[in-house]
Amino acid sequence: MKPLQGLRVIAWGAMAERPLARYLASLGATVVATEPLLQTLSGADFLIDDLGLACLQDLGLSRAQIEAQFPQLVHVSVTAFGSFGPRARWRGGELVSSAMSGVLRLTGAPDRAPVKEARDACTFHADMAAAAGAMAAHYSRGTHGVGQHIDVSVREVAFSRCVNSILVWQFERRKLQRVGGALNYGLATVRCIWPLADGWCFHSLMTGRFGAPANQALSDWMDELGADNPLRGVDWLAYNRSTLDPAIRAVWERAIAGFFLTRTREQIRTEGRRRGINACAVATPGDVLADPHLQSRQFWNQQAGRTVPSRFTGFTPAATTARPAPRAALANSRSGPLAGVRVLDFAWALVGSITTKILGDLGAEVIKVETRTRPCLSRIDVQVKASKPGDFDDKPWFAHMNTSKRSLALDMKRPEAREVLEPLIEWADVVVENFSPGTMAKLGLDYEQLVKRNPSLVMVSGSVYGQTGPLAQEWGVDGTGAALSGRTLLTGWADRDPVIPGAVPYGDVIVPYVMAAGVAAALQHRRQTGQGCHIDASMYEICVQQMLPALLEEQSGSTPQRMGNADPAVFHQDVYAVAGEDRWIAISAVTQAQYQQLCGFAGGTDIGGWTATQDGQQLADLLQSQGIAAGVVQDIEDLMEHDPGLQARGALVPIEHARLGVFGHVRSPMTFSADVIAPFRPPNMGEHSQLIAQQLSGLDGSRIEALSASGVFK
């Protein structure tokens, strides 16, 4: 199924080589690269550019001209700082966008300069956000017949994944720091990258039911091999990574490090996987190209003698066509490009929750099905002192990821729950889930069962490995996608171990935009054909898409290596110290001429010696005024308190939380010229259960009271 088959995309600037163009082409659109001229837009359905409205205006093209001549065109601009705001004309690029987003600040070890993620990670993220915006506008165009402009800032999109940094600053005025091969979880720093006998692996001790079996499996393996094992006898169901005594964690991590040094990559891939420990070997680009799992899923295509990814997601169309029936609404109609869309949300943790946040923020009506018997990790992980263990409604982490939803608490193990749930299956346009493949089938809620009740349904499933293939049932989290795709191996310095790429979630926040884009494209396709579908989104595959340039290098005979802050496409770039403690500036001299200009300012090639005495912001302003991309490596205080660009773009939306008061919630970082986006507060657990049961499931008051008394709404 190719939902954009027959549609035409015009790519201005260098956009034809960008991931957004590849994504649209993967859905069947024809992408044409051309110069920014009005006459080239005749017959186009989409325009994508990396220039921005300010630059187009400088070229003599205004948005008003484009809109007047091509009112149905969906026009998407993706630039470093966006088309509006005080830095709309600043030069950016990957390194500068990362520096000014807060991502770069947390990547790398504390005894060296911050180091960028492998390849163009922030740019890829922004392009996937732009894909979601483009497809939402495509659906909106199908509603009212008019196109619009969608503006995306690479820097703002990257900032949106710094949720841990944002919430610890909001609630405790505390800053997270670079921790190399570890992750910051608010109150805890958990090591994740471990040297093996012949490489590295990714592993972390996870909290709660999700982590308990894997943690126990690691302890058992250590015991069987006679290794030092302070993990022996731990109650893993009670373990909480955020509240564990740091001194105890240090003892555990020393023992785990010693154990992993005795294991090989092959042992992790085979014996470790068989045992169910949550570890995976850090892969090379060559490993990725030869992976039997990707081959089994027919992920690769051959183009011009090269192996390239075939898709971002898989679409399996329904066997029949059926127009959706009219459906009741839970509330007054909302604004936004997806207004009127009904979403049943079975999501948990990040991938599914952020997907439905995006859909809800863009106007869809979202019902989040959850339960107190197995709450989402984000409802139990204590990351700030304002939150308490056992309280499901006081977690700002949950709040940032769950705006614009209503909560239905339902104990799915009770047969009576079906009285509430089955009418909602018929009500929904979309079902979203991100459980391990097979879980929905065990609940009788897999796609094959759901379409029997709702033949026009669009369902999207997110997982680490995808719904099929030899690894489909295996354990995985965000770091798994990074490790398996080559992102981890290629992030860091050549003379050191790799570090966590980004130190903030990546796959967990990229996949939701791809899923949301697929949903919007599928809904418009259904509107035209009556055909629903099942969308299969694999984090591993989407991370591989991000690493395509490295995979092409591998095939050309040039094995990619960790290269710090350098970039093969940039003549010279690096991160340099400036005046102040742990203060830095990122500079990208794209051409040799720009590098010579930079050396002229520095009085020679010792650029670091020159920058060390300079005020970072004043230096960035100077270099930008001379046409050289530069930006301060900002920390969370810089971003939250002093960044005029983020403030102008409304990157944080003030919303009153039911328990925590008013604070800025991360918005879905897309600006639409026609549709109004109005997110609302996240729900308390089960806050809307009885309302939903009455208004949408059609149950009367006495039956709702009986179900409540029996524990169905739990």
Q: What is the 3-state secondary structure (H, E, C) of 547-603?
A: CHHHHHHHHHCCCCCCCCCCCCCCCEEEEEECCCCCCEEEEEECCHHHHHHHHHHHC
Give the N- to C-terminal CA distance of the chain in Å, as an integer: 39
- Whole-angstrom Cα distance, residue 447 to residue 317? 11
Tell me what pLDDT residue 125 has: 98
The structural domains of the chain, with segments of one domain joined by +, span 336-472+501-545+683-709, 572-645
- Nearest residue to 119 via CA among 562, 699, 539: 562
Count of CB atoms situated within 10 Å of the CB of 441: 13
Helix, strand or coil for residue 122? helix
CB 46 within 8 A of CB 9: yes
- Residue 32's φ and ψ, nearest 5 degrees, are -120, 120
- Nearest residue to 205 via CA among 225, 228, 185: 185
- Nearest residue to 313 via CA among 125, 483, 514, 119: 514
Q: Six-digit token pair at 129? A: 């956000």
| Single-letter code of the amino acid located at 389 | P
Tell me what pLDDT residue 71 has: 97
- Whole-angstrom Cα distance, residue 115 to residue 369? 40
CB 371 within 8 A of CB 145: no
- Whole-angstrom Cα distance, residue 496 to residue 162? 25
Tell me what pLDDT residue 332 has: 64
The H or E element that residue 695 is part of is helix 689-695
Q: Six-digit token pair at 8? A: 């035409």
CB 681 within 8 A of CB 657: yes
- Whole-angstrom Cα distance, residue 353 to residue 347? 5
- Nearest residue to 118 via CA among 480, 486, 490, 482: 490
Helix, strand or coil for residue 85? coil
Tell me what pLDDT residue 186 has: 64
| CA-based torsion, 593, 595, 596, 600: positive or negative | positive
- Residue 102's φ and ψ, nearest 5 degrees, are 100, -15
Residues 6+ apart with CB under 8 A from 92: 79, 80, 81, 154, 155, 629, 631
Q: Which residues of the chain have pLDDT under 70?
A: 186, 331-332, 503
Residues 6+ apart with CB under 8 A from 609: 602
Tell me what pLDDT residue 187 has: 74
HSE-up of residue 114 (Cα within 13 Å, Cβ side): 32
- Whole-angstrom Cα distance, residue 118 to residue 485? 11
Which string of b and e fits 567-577 if b means at least 16 CB within 10 Å? beebebbbbbb
CATH 3.40.50.10540 fits 336-472+501-545+683-709, yes or no: yes
CB 6 within 8 A of CB 28: yes
CA 18 to each of CA 25, 49, 91, 127, 173: distance values in angstroms, whole numbers, following the listed order: 11, 10, 17, 8, 37
Residue ranges with strand state E in 360-429: 365-370, 406-409
CA 135 to each of CA 74, 138, 198, 350, 435: distance values in angstroms, whole numbers, following the listed order: 9, 5, 44, 21, 25
- Nearest residue to 564 via CA among 161, 110, 119: 119
Tell me what pLDDT residue 331 has: 67
Tell me what pLDDT residue 406 has: 97
CB 242 within 8 A of CB 188: yes
Residue 174, judged by CB atoms within 10 A of its CB (0-12, 13-18, 19+), counts as: middle
Tell me what pLDDT residue 256 has: 98
| Single-letter code of the amino acid located at 82 | G
Helix, strand or coil for residue 9? strand
Q: Six-digit token pair at 17? A: 């080589």
- Whole-angstrom Cα distance, residue 312 to residue 124? 12
The H or E element that residue 639 is part of is helix 636-642
Q: What is the CA radius of gyration of the chain?
A: 25
- For Cα atoms 649, 654, 659, give the angle at the middle one, nearest 5 degrees: 155
- Whole-angstrom Cα distance, residue 65 to residue 489? 47
**DSSP category for residue 39:** G
List the alpha helices (DSSP H) in 382-538: 396-401, 417-427, 439-442, 447-453, 478-485, 507-529
Helix, strand or coil for residue 459? strand
Tell me what pLDDT residue 678 has: 95
- Whole-angstrom Cα distance, residue 201 to residue 283? 9
- Whole-angstrom Cα distance, residue 641 to residue 646? 10
Q: Six-digit token pair at 108? A: 């790398």
Tell me what pLDDT residue 601 has: 96
- For Cα atoms 341, 158, 132, give the angle at the middle one, nearest 5 degrees: 25
| Single-letter code of the amino acid located at 641 | E
| Single-letter code of the amino acid located at 244 | L
